[in-house]
Amino acid sequence: MKITRIETIPVRVPIKPELAIRSGRGGSHLVSPFLLVKLHTNEGIVGLGEVSCTPRWSGEDQVTAAHFINTYFAPLLVGESFDCSRPLRGRPEAPVDEIERLSAKFAAAVAGNYFTKAALEMALWDIVGKAHGKPVWEILLAGSGEQGAGSKNSESSLLAARSSPRVVPTKWSVSGVEPAKAAEIAAWAATQGFSTMKVKVGIDPDGDLARVRAVRDAVGTQVKLGVDANGGWLTPQIAIETIHRLCKECDIYFAEQPVPAGDHDAMAEVRRNVSVPIIADESVWTLEDAKILARAEAADVFSIYIGKAGGIAPAREIAEFAQSVSIKCTIGSNLELGVGSAAMIHLALSTPGIDADTYPCDIIGPMFYEDDVLAEPLPISGGSARLHDRPGLGVELDDEKVERFRVR
């Protein structure tokens, strides 16, 4: 099989106004300027990817993503042979080898731009799954080096995964709006079935406390609450004092990215002085970031993204490292559309280091949009995310919807 063409489709998909996210990073996520990617092959198989980027978050948008793909990455990939012929039973790690080989061709061609690279990598996984008639999560488990390809442990893990319910627990994200509005959003989320939520904070300590208190009053004691500062508390002292108040008055059970990314000493200081787990999000993009945080003892949990890590395989490497040093993982979100969300579910289902039962994942992006670009929406609802039982990523685009949101 050969890659014959890479197609890039810029889309602009609006968020439901009442659910627009405001966070400690400033600004609001009102619309998603994403890029859909299609990897065409000479055998008619098309791999789908999604650059789920926003400039404030990743420094990328649909224009930069399309430029780097068309100018730098496509010349490296188009014409490349892609060996999907080897049977999974004989050597299940073979597809992983092929994806690593092809990903290495574009990984170093441009610095950073991880969300853009992730779209190409997830499209390669989609091609492999479709070529073998298997969902991506199953191929990932079959080829997991952690278990040993072809080993009895690997086979038993795969059989157990096939027979168990393929559901990823999820939590709702309450925007950093005024307390009454936050309470209204949280009450709605509870009616949808969410039993875990996080509230955006890091805007103003007193306002943060009022917001979380209003949410707690609205949802009662049965809903587990965490907070996400997005690095908005500028000093460890502010973070520590505010977390103490939130724990005492609102019974929170985690605090995410309490201080600005990059200051691992500050994160560690916060962690030493509070009673709830600290989740690193903006601080952990790469495997090296994860190792630095671990050495600094700065986090109890990593929030990993396929986009931040540059692909499914790099995100799994972070989770595998975290598991080796007793750090848990969850999956964060930049409000991905259906293609990106599907990739996240495959990652969660195939990665033991992701503890979605304790720290439910943020695979909720499609719920924020009036409509998606998929022919059939993913079964994502209150508190859970599932997949269609189909090969590859298991999703296909709706051409009419894509055209409606396409940027000309």
Q: With contact defined as beta carbons under 8 Å apart, do 320 and 146 qualify?
A: yes
Give the model's pLDDT for residue 207: 96
Average pLDDT over residues 325-341: 96
Residue from 308, 258, 313, 261 nearest 286 by CA? 308
Q: Which two tokens stand for residue 372?
A: 């998606």
pLDDT tier for residue 149 given thresholds of 50, 70 and 90: very low
Q: With contact defined as beta carbons under 8 Å apart, do 354 and 361 qualify?
A: yes
Q: How many CA atoms lie within 13 A of 393 on its CB side?
A: 30
Q: With contact defined as beta carbons under 8 Å apart, do 304 and 353 qualify?
A: no
Residue with tokens 């306002």: 207
User: Which tens digit of pLDDT belongs to each residue from 76-99?
Assistant: 999 998 877 665 554 555 667 889
Residue with tokens 């003892």: 297
Specify the amino acid at residue 179.
P
pLDDT tier for residue 151 given thresholds of 50, 70 and 90: very low
Specify the amino acid at residue 133.
G
Instruction: Return contacts of 66-71, CB within 8 angstroms, 24+ apart.
Output: 66/8, 66/10, 66/35, 68/110, 68/113, 68/116, 69/6, 69/8, 69/35, 69/37, 69/116, 69/119, 69/120, 70/6, 70/8
CA–CA distance, 74 with 357 (Å, rounded to integer) = 39
Average pLDDT over residues 107-134: 94
Q: Which residues of 288-325 are buried (b: 16+ CB within 10 A; e: fewer)?
A: ebbeebbebebbbbbbbbbbbbbbbbbbbbbbbbbbee
For the chain, the residue count is 408
Q: What is the mean pLDDT of the chain?
A: 91
User: Which tens digit of pLDDT belongs to each residue from 162-175?
Assistant: 545 689 999 999 99
Residue from 271, 245, 249, 256 nearest 176 by CA? 256
In this prediction, what percent of the chain has a pLDDT beyond 70? 90
pTM: 0.92
DSSP class per residue in 14-57: EBPGGG-EE-TTSSEE-EE--EEEEEEETTS-EEEEEE---HHH
CA–CA distance, 285 with 57 (Å, rounded to integer) = 12
Give the model's pLDDT for residue 16: 87
Q: Which two tokens stand for residue 179?
A: 């307390």
Average pLDDT over residues 378-395: 95
Residue from 40, 6, 41, 280 nearest 116 by CA? 6
* Maximum distance among all Cα pairs of the chain, rounded to whole angstroms: 61
Give the model's pLDDT for residue 209: 97
Average pLDDT over residues 274-280: 97
- Give the angle subtended at the CA of 172 by the CAs of 169 and 178, to the nearest 5°: 165
242: three-class secondary structure by DSSP: helix
* Range with lowest mean pLDDT among 24-28, 145-149, 264-268, 321-325: 145-149
Average pLDDT over residues 351-373: 95
Q: Between the CA atoms of 25, 310, 356 and 251, what dihedral angle is there, to the nearest 10 degrees? A: -20
* Residue 178, burial from CB neighbour count under 10 angstroms (0-12, 13-18, 19+): middle
CA–CA distance, 141 with 268 (Å, rounded to integer) = 34
Give the model's pLDDT for residue 147: 41
Residue 331 phi, psi (nearest 5): -115, 125
Q: Which two tokens stand for residue 268?
A: 């560690």
- Give the angle subtended at the CA of 164 by the CAs of 142 and 223, to the nearest 5°: 120
Q: With contact defined as beta carbons under 8 Å apart, do 150 and 92 qualify?
A: yes
Residue with tokens 């943020």: 362
Give the model's pLDDT for residue 156: 53
